[in-house]
Chains A and B, each alone.
Chain A
Amino acid sequence: MSEGVEISRVSVDFGRFRAVDNVSVDIRPGEFFSFLGPSGCGKTTILRAISGFLEPTEGSISIGGRPMRGIGPNKRPTALIFQNLALFPLMNVWENISFGLKVRGIDKAERRRRAEDLLRIVDLPDAAHKMIAQLSGGQKQRIAIARALAVEPKVMLLDEPLSALDLKLRQHMRSELRAIQERTKVTFIYITHDQNEALAMSDRVGVMSKGRLQQVDTPERIYNDPVNGFVASFVGENSILEGRIQQLDRSQPCFVTADGAIACVAGPDLTNAARTKVYIRPETIKIGDEQVNTLPVVVNSVIFEGNVVSVIGRTESGAHLTSQFTNRPGLMLPSVGEQIKFTFAADAAKVLKVE
C-alpha cells in the first residue's frame, strides 16, 4: 500500500555549490516524516531528488527497495505537492484532480467517479465544476492534495504546502493533512521551516542545516534530546550560557561558566575542557532554589502572554536566562529589578557541541 524511501549518502551539487551533503535516512512505509530546516538548507533539493526532477550527484535513493536512478518523475510512485501548488489554471477542479488518470488513459466516466470520491475525501464535494481561480487558499490546498492522491502514490512529497495560508487555516490544515495521511496510509514526506508544524504532525523529524542532516528522531526526542546546538536552538527556545565542559569522564559532568559551575548532562561529540555552550529550555527553569543548580538573577522583564508567563533574569556576568511557566489564579509575579533565584535540574542543562 505504501512504500518506504531509502536515502543513502545522497549529495547534490549545483556547480561547485553543495546544496545537499551526504544525507542518509531511512523513511519507513506509512510514516509521516518531516524535513525541518531554515530557508536555503536544501530541503526542496532533497524532495526534487526523491521525485526525480534531479539526480543526486552522489549516493542513491530507493523507493520500496527499488533504486530510482534513471527513472523519470512520471514513472516514480511519488506525487509532489509544490510550494505554490501548481494547479492547472485552465482546467476546472475535477479536470485538475483527474489529470493523472487521464494521462494514464483511464476513460472519462471512471475519471469523473474517482474525482468525485476524492473531492469527498478532501471535504469539497460540490467543487467539481469550479475553476481554480474561484477557490480560496485552503480549498486550493485540498484540491492539490486530491490531485496528488488521485494517482495513488506510494509516497507523497509536500513542499511547505501550508506556508501561504494564514495561521488559523494552517492549524486546521495540519490536522486535516494528518488525518488524510492516517486514512490513506501513504508515506508522507513533508518539508517545512516551521518547527511547530514539524513537531505537531510528524512521526519523525529530520533537522537539516546547510545541506546536512543534523538529527533524525521523534518530535519528543528532537525537542528533549537535541544532539547539537543547532538543533537545540532551531527547535524551541533556550537560555544559552557559554563556558567549558569539565569532568566529562565522571558520572556528573560540570559546566564552568562566568557565573559558576553548573551540574549538567553532556551531549555527544564533546571533549573535556572544550569551550562550548549550555542550552536550558525556559520551561525547565523555576523561580526558587530547590534544584541542584541555583543562580541569583535580577529580573530584567516580565512578559505576560495570557496562558504563559516569561520572566527574564540577568545573571551577575550579564547573561540572560528565561523562566517560563503557565499562568494560574493567584500567581505571584516578581517585579522588574527584584533580586530572585532561578533554579533548574542537572538534566535540564544540556551541554552540546555548537554546530
Chain B
Amino acid sequence: MSDFVRRYGWGLSAILVTLTAFWLLALVWVPYSVMIEKSFRLYLPVSEIGGPSDRYTLANYLSLFDMSASSEFLGLMVPIAVQVFLITVFYSCGVTIICFALAYPAAYFLAKKAAPAQIPTLFLMLAIPLFVSEMLRTFAWFIILAYQGPLNALLDAVGLSKVRWLSGYNGIIIGMVYTYILFMFFPIYNSLTALDNNQIEAAKDLGARSWQAHLNVIMPHAKPGISSGATMVFMFAVGSVLVPTLLGSPNSRWFTEIIIRSMFEGQDWNSAAAYAFLLLLVCLLFVSLVMKLFRVNLADITR
C-alpha cells in the first residue's frame, strides 16, 4: 500500500482506491447480495410481499429437483433440470478440451517457433475477430453452418455429402470453441513465452522426443496458463446464453436457458437467482475439484 502511494501520490491513490471500492461494492457486491437475498424468498404477487407467506425458504432451490419432470441420464431417472445441468457441464468440458487441443499447439508455435518478424501480423490476425461483437460472430457461424450455407455448398462442390452441422450440440460446440478459444490461447501463450528455450533444448539433448519434452517440461511450465485458460473457457461456456440460443438445435438444451425462461417468461427472478447461484456454486466446486485432480495427476505423471 505504501508502495502504491509512493508511486501514484496521495491524490491519485485515493481516487483509484475509491473507484475500485465503488466498483466492487456498488456494481458487484450489492447486486449480488440483493440477488442472493431474493433467491431465498418466494416469488409472490405484490400484495403478499411483506405478508405472512413472505419468509426465507429453500423452495426456489429445491424446485430444480422437482421429480415431476424427470428424464433419463446415463440410465438414471433424474429431474429434468439436473439432466440439463449435467449435459451442460459435459459439453462445456468438451468445449474446454477442444479449445486446449487447438490453442496449445498454436500458442507453442507463436511463442517458440514463429520468427519474431511474423508475430505482430499473426497476433493481429488472431485479434481481429475479437473486434466484431459476439452476436455478429455467432450469427456468422449460424449462416456458415446452415444446411443450405456456404460450408455445405463447399462440401457439395468437392463432391462430399452435406452435413447437418446445426443438429444436436454440434453448432453449440463449434460456436463456443470459436468464441472462447482466445481465452485459452492467451494465458498459455503468456506462460510459454516465459519458458527458457534452453529448457526445451536441454530436454531434447538428454534424449527426449518432442512429445516427451512437451509432456515433461513444456506443459508443466504452461500449467498455470492452461488451468486459468481452462477455468475461463469452462465458466464462459457453462454460462453462455447467446451461443446456445443461436446455434442450438430443437433437441439441444443448455442450463442457462432454464434460468432465462424463469426470468423472462415466468418473471420469476427469485427462482432464476436461485438457479444462477446454484450453477455458479456447483461449477466452482467442479472446477476446483478438477484442478485438484489435475495437479495430483500431473505431479504423478512427471515423477
Enumerate chain A interface residues (CB-CB to B < 8 A).
Answer: 51-53, 72-75, 78-80, 82-84, 86-88, 90-91, 95, 99-100, 102-104, 108, 147-148, 150-151
B201 close to A147 (CB less than 8 A): no
Contact with A73, one of B199, B205, B221, B302 (Cβ below 8 angstroms):
B205
A82 close to B201 (CB less than 8 A): yes
Enumerate chain B interface residues (CB-CB to A < 8 A).
Answer: 196, 198-199, 201-209, 212, 216-217, 220-221, 302-303
A100 to B217, CA, bound (A): 12
* 11 A–B contacts from the bound complex (CB under 8 Å): A51-B205, A74-B205, A80-B201, A83-B198, A86-B199, A86-B202, A88-B202, A90-B302, A95-B302, A102-B216, A151-B207
Identify the closest chain B residue to A51 (Cβ): B205
Identify the closest chain A residue to B220 (Cβ): A90
Query: Given A86-B196, A103-B212, are A79 and B205 also a contact pair (CB < 8 Å)?
Result: yes
Which of A74, A84, A91 has its CB near the most chain B CB atoms (within 10 A)?
A: A74
A103 close to B209 (CB less than 8 A): yes
Give, as a whole number of angstroms, the nearest-CB distance from B301 to chain A.
Answer: 11
Identify the closest chain A residue to B217 (Cβ): A88
Give, as a whole number of angstroms, the nearest-CB distance from A265 to chain B.
Answer: 45
Q: Which residues of B contact A90 (CB under 8 A)?
A: 220-221, 302
Identify the closest chain B residue to A108 (Cβ): B303
Contact with B201, one of A75, A86, A148 (Cβ below 8 angstroms):
A86
Give, as a whole number of angstroms, the nearest-CB distance from B220 to chain A.
Answer: 5
Chain B contact residues, majority secondary structure: helix
Query: Given A88-B217, A95-B303, A102-B216, are A80 and B207 also a contact pair (CB < 8 Å)?
Result: no
Identify the closest chain B residue to A147 (Cβ): B206
Q: Which residues of A contact B220 (CB under 8 A)?
A: 90
Q: Which residues of A contact B196 (CB under 8 A)?
A: 84, 86
Identify the closest chain A residue to B201 (Cβ): A53
A87 to B205, CA, bound (A): 12
Q: Which residues of A contact B217 (CB under 8 A)?
A: 88
Q: Which residues of B contact A73 (CB under 8 A)?
A: 201, 204-205
A88 close to B207 (CB less than 8 A): no
Q: Which residues of A contact B199 (CB under 8 A)?
A: 86, 88
Give, as a whole number of angstroms, the nearest-CB distance from B77 to chain A.
Answer: 46
Q: Which residues of A contact B204 (CB under 8 A)?
A: 72-74
Q: Which residues of B contact A99 (CB under 8 A)?
A: 203, 206, 208, 216
Q: Which residues of B contact A151 (CB under 8 A)?
A: 206-207
A100 to B206, CA, bound (A): 5
A91 to B46, CA, bound (A): 63
Query: Given A91-B302, A103-B212, are A86 and B198 also a contact pair (CB < 8 Å)?
Result: yes
Q: Which residues of B contact A72 (CB under 8 A)?
A: 204
Q: Which residues of A contact B206 (CB under 8 A)?
A: 74, 79, 99-100, 103, 147-148, 150-151
Identify the closest chain A residue to B215 (Cβ): A103
Give, as a whole number of angstroms, the nearest-CB distance from B226 to chain A.
Answer: 14
B207 close to A78 (CB less than 8 A): no
Q: Which residues of B contact A84 (CB under 8 A)?
A: 196, 198
Identify the closest chain B residue to A148 (Cβ): B206
Give, as a whole number of angstroms, the nearest-CB distance from A320 to chain B.
Answer: 44
Give, as a whole number of angstroms, the nearest-CB distance from B121 to chain A.
Answer: 20
B201 close to A103 (CB less than 8 A): no
Q: Which residues of B contact A52 (CB under 8 A)?
A: 205
Q: Which residues of B contact A103 (CB under 8 A)?
A: 203, 206-209, 212, 216
A192 to B216, CA, bound (A): 31
Give, as a whole number of angstroms, the nearest-CB distance from A133 to chain B.
Answer: 14
Identify the closest chain B residue to A99 (Cβ): B206
Give, as a whole number of angstroms, the nearest-CB distance from A77 to chain B.
Answer: 10
A91 to B206, CA, bound (A): 15
Identify the closest chain B residue to A159 (Cβ): B198
Q: Which residues of A contact B201 (CB under 8 A)?
A: 53, 73, 80, 82, 86
